[in-house]
């Protein structure tokens, strides 16, 4: 099993290896391929072979998911990456910076929410109609696009 991995310079790796390296389930990788997030070539026997660089690509997906991005959003980010060509350091830096600002705004949002919550704790928060935290308008405004479970 490991033999295949250590067989020197083989740029094309089977799905199982990619799974091991990324920690993803094989089925998840196939799913990502179906979604168009990674691509593979096929062997004569119709088995997938991935580029080593796809391990990086998939790892990026994992990071982005951790930040709360949905696959669709991740796809958008990745679309700027050259398909098939090994992404450069600069590619990754650019995308990473974009993620950084994502994180920043999430932190800001949470901080604002915390401040509001503090006010509520202070006031006992039984006058809920005027409570900043569950103001309807506010809620609607905060929702925006993207998966709604991601701390809007």
Partner DNA sequence: ATGCAACCTCAAGCAGGCTTTAGATCAAGC
Partner DNA sequence: GCTTGATCTAAAGCCTGCTTGAGGTTGCAT
Residues that bind DNA (CB under 7 A): 1, 3-4, 14-17, 19, 25-28, 30-31, 40, 43-48, 65, 70-72, 147, 149
Q: Does 136 bind its own copies (CB under 8 A)?
A: yes
Q: Does 23 bind its own copies (CB under 8 A)?
A: yes
Ordered strands of the 48-51 beta sheet: 12-14, 48-51, 41-42
Q: Does 139 bind its own copies (CB under 8 A)?
A: yes
Distance CA 108, CA 100 (A): 12
Q: Does 147 bind its own copies (CB under 8 A)?
A: yes
CB of 68 to its own copies, least distance (A): 5
Residue among 41 and 62 whose Cβ is closer to its own copies = 62
Distance CA 2, CA 110 (A): 44
Distance CA 9, CA 96 (A): 28
CB of 35 to its own copies, least distance (A): 16
Residue among 16 and 116 whose Cβ is closer to DNA = 16
Q: Give kind and range of the element (H or E) at residue 41.
A: strand 41-42
Contact in structure between 81 and 90 (CB atoms under 8 Å): no
CA 15, 30, 81, 150 torsion-angle sign: negative
Distance CA 59, CA 21 (A): 9
In the complex, the residues that contact its own copies under the rule CB under 8 A are 22-23, 55-56, 59, 62-63, 65-68, 89, 92-93, 96-97, 99-100, 103-104, 106-107, 110-111, 113-114, 117-118, 120-121, 124-126, 128, 131, 133-134, 136, 139-140, 142, 147, 149-152
């Amino acid at each position: 099993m490991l033999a295949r991995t250590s067989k020197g310079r083989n740029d094309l790796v089977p799905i199982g290896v990619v799974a091991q390296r990324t920690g993803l389930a094989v089925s998840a990788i196939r799913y990502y391929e179906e979604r168009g997030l990674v691509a593979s070539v096929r062997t004569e026997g119709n088995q997938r072979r991935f580029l080593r660089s796809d391990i990086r690509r998939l790892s990026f997906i994992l990071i982005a998911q951790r930040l709360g991005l949905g696959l669709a959003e991740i796809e958008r980010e990745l679309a700027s990456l050259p398909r098939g060509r090994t992404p450069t350091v600069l590619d990754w830096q650019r995308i990473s910076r974009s993620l950084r600002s994502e994180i920043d705004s999430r932190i800001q949002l949470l901080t604002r929410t915390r401040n509001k919550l503090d006010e509520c704790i202070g006031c006992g928060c039984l006058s809920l109609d005027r409570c900043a935290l569950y103001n309807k308008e506010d809620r609607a405004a905060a929702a925006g696009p993207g998966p709604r479970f991601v701390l809007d």
